[in-house]
Chain A
Amino acid sequence: MYIPVNDMLKHFKQDAPAMANITHKSDQWSPYHDNSGTVLAVGIPGAVIVAGDTRLSNGYNILSRDATKLSQLTDKCVLATAGQYADFIALRKFLQQRLQLYEFQNEVQASTETVAHLLSRELYSRRFFPYYTFNLLAGLDENNHGVVYGYDAIGSYDKMTYGVQGSGQELVVAVLDNQLKGYNKINKTIPQTREEILDIILDCFSCAAERDIHTGDNVEILIITAAGTERIVKPLRKD
């Protein structure tokens, strides 16, 4: 006597029969969107250079070709953020308000180190519903030398000489390791002048735009010195 294949299952013990009816939802609503793009910052004696592409995307769609990822918080420091644009805006608004209050209370603008710590605390205050932001805080320290602080989404931070965040991070940071630190370089020539470093940054963005679909359109560069802020915009691939 044969047993039809479809009836076989009832002859086997089912340990947890209830589990047989569970289907896993794969399309649950998420409060997070990755608007991507790439930002980088390099600190040199006397200046800091911050750059970010201006493309805003969502998945395979482009939302804007002209959206800034950089925000100047004080005369001496700039916030550069990759990740969710709405969270960048909310974070920027909070910092601008809080730093204005700091200036009223202390009669002087916050130093870059102070802003760095403030940013870390604000990110951690949202430990259980994080800002989807990957930040770089670039500024001039008390001696007007360029310094970069890099963050993760919940506020862990460290002082660095250069940093990259965003969808093109892996592509770009390896190039900077080679060019600015001389890692794995046979002829160890480290660029010294501002112009050389600007060229490297522009090249990095061009490279990232070639391979990363989320990076492109334009690159916006801010150069912060004790004398003021200079802004340069250069075009990138638009595809």
Chain B
Amino acid sequence: MLKHLYDTDCVTWSPQGKLFQVDYAMEAVKQGSICLGLKSNDFVVLCSLKRQPSELAGYQEKQFKIDDHMAIAIAGLTADARVLCKYMRTECLEYKYTYESHHPVGRLVFKVAEKSQHKTQSGAKRPYGVGLLVAGIDPNGVHLFETCPSGNYYEYKCQAIGSRSQAARTYFESWFHLFEKSTLEQLILHGLSALKKAIMEDEELNEKNVEVGILGKNQKFIHLNAQELKDYIVKLETFNANTQIQQE
């Protein structure tokens, strides 16, 4: 009950040193359907579970290309994600126009974080209610970043955000040491395995509600099509991370 005293706006601290509005914004991310990302030496893979508002509706897309070398997966308020997506795309286009090269990934994530932080220090604004997983490749290597409504950003080897993401993270904790040297196919299967851990008992993965995007050093960002998704979901039945250890 006391929480409600200091949570009217972003310009009020709580006695415990918290900005409740920012915390509440992070909750919005946790309510969104799960999306996860993992990387090897050469590839980054993004997997998401698409939500369907009703039987009559389509599935909400969760992965967006920012540039040939960069893509995002979102969890939270899709409308806020659209704003950030447009911003990132514009920044990449301008950078390419001026420097004739791809926008360094970390620097763009930093710009997004700056923008997000700005919204947490004003009486009249609210934080973005969306978390992004930014996958990108630049001369510094293969990257996976997470951005938060708070304006913080972190780089990861693999990460999951959104609803029931802890289950996926637990899977990652057990197997992430294999990812670096994994092939693309193994990486996708790991991603789908982690996703499988995070779905409810009565749900199942199919080519309609799963979205997989891949990005590589020589591979522009691309979504797997329905047939490829079906094939991978079938392969998932016989995939076992243990077999990968035996191969190495």
Size category, A interface: under 10
| CB–CB B97/A101 < 8 A | no
| CB–CB B89/A104 < 8 A | yes
B199 within 8 A of A: no
Task: Provide the bound-state CA to CA distance between A97 and B93, in Å.
Answer: 6
Task: Provide the bound-state CA to CA distance between A97 and B65, in Å.
Answer: 15
Contacting B at CB under 8 A, from A182-221, are none
A33 within 8 A of B: no
| CB–CB A97/B89 < 8 A | no
B235 within 8 A of A: no
Contacts of A104 in B (CB 8 A): 65, 89
Q: Is the interface of A mostly helix, strand, loop or mixed?
A: helix
Q: How many positions in chain B have a CB within 8 Å of any CB in the partner chain?
A: 5
Contacting B at CB under 8 A, from A2-27, are none
Task: Provide the bound-state CA to CA distance between A93 and B89, in Å.
Answer: 16
A93 (CB) vs chain B CBs: closest residue: B97
Counted as pairs of residues, one from A and one from B, with CB atoms less than 8 Å apart, the total is: 9
Contacts of B97 in A (CB 8 A): 93, 97
Contacts of B96 in A (CB 8 A): 97
Task: Provide the bound-state CA to CA distance between A170 and B59, in Å.
Answer: 58
* Least distance between B162 CB and chain A CB atoms (Å): 24
A68 within 8 A of B: no
A100 within 8 A of B: yes
* Least distance between B193 CB and chain A CB atoms (Å): 31
Q: A100-113, CB under 8 A of B: which get 1 and which 0?
A: 11001000000000
Task: Provide the bound-state CA to CA distance between A101 and B65, in Å.
Answer: 12
B97 (CB) vs chain A CBs: closest residue: A97
Contacts of A93 in B (CB 8 A): 97
Contacting B at CB under 8 A, from A66-113, are 93, 97, 100-101, 104
Task: Provide the bound-state CA to CA distance between A97 and B97, in Å.
Answer: 7
Task: Provide the bound-state CA to CA distance between A100 and B97, in Å.
Answer: 11
Task: Provide the bound-state CA to CA distance between A104 and B92, in Å.
Answer: 12
Task: Provide the bound-state CA to CA distance between A97 and B67, in Å.
Answer: 11
Task: Provide the bound-state CA to CA distance between A104 and B68, in Å.
Answer: 12
Q: B87-98, CB under 8 A of A: which get 1 and which 0?
A: 001000100110
Task: Provide the bound-state CA to CA distance between A104 and B89, in Å.
Answer: 8
Contacts of B65 in A (CB 8 A): 104
Task: Provide the bound-state CA to CA distance between A93 and B65, in Å.
Answer: 20
* Least distance between B246 CB and chain A CB atoms (Å): 42
Task: Provide the bound-state CA to CA distance between A93 and B96, in Å.
Answer: 9
B94 (CB) vs chain A CBs: closest residue: A97
Task: Provide the bound-state CA to CA distance between A161 and B166, in Å.
Answer: 62
* Least distance between B104 CB and chain A CB atoms (Å): 18
Q: A110-125, CB under 8 A of B: which get 1 and which 0?
A: 0000000000000000
A98 (CB) vs chain B CBs: closest residue: B93
Task: Provide the bound-state CA to CA distance between A100 and B96, in Å.
Answer: 11
* Least distance between B99 CB and chain A CB atoms (Å): 11
Contacts of B89 in A (CB 8 A): 101, 104
A101 (CB) vs chain B CBs: closest residue: B93
* Least distance between B208 CB and chain A CB atoms (Å): 19
Task: Provide the bound-state CA to CA distance between A93 and B101, in Å.
Answer: 12
Contacts of B93 in A (CB 8 A): 97, 100-101
* Least distance between B31 CB and chain A CB atoms (Å): 27
B100 (CB) vs chain A CBs: closest residue: A93
Task: Provide the bound-state CA to CA distance between A146 and B93, in Å.
Answer: 30
* Least distance between B128 CB and chain A CB atoms (Å): 20
Contacts of A97 in B (CB 8 A): 93, 96-97
5 nearest A-B residue pairs (beta carbon)? A97-B97, A97-B93, A104-B89, A93-B97, A100-B93
Can you sample 9 A-B contacts with CB below 8 Å? A93-B97, A97-B93, A97-B96, A97-B97, A100-B93, A101-B89, A101-B93, A104-B65, A104-B89
Known pairs A97-B97, A104-B65. 7 more at Cβ < 8 A?
A93-B97, A97-B93, A97-B96, A100-B93, A101-B89, A101-B93, A104-B89
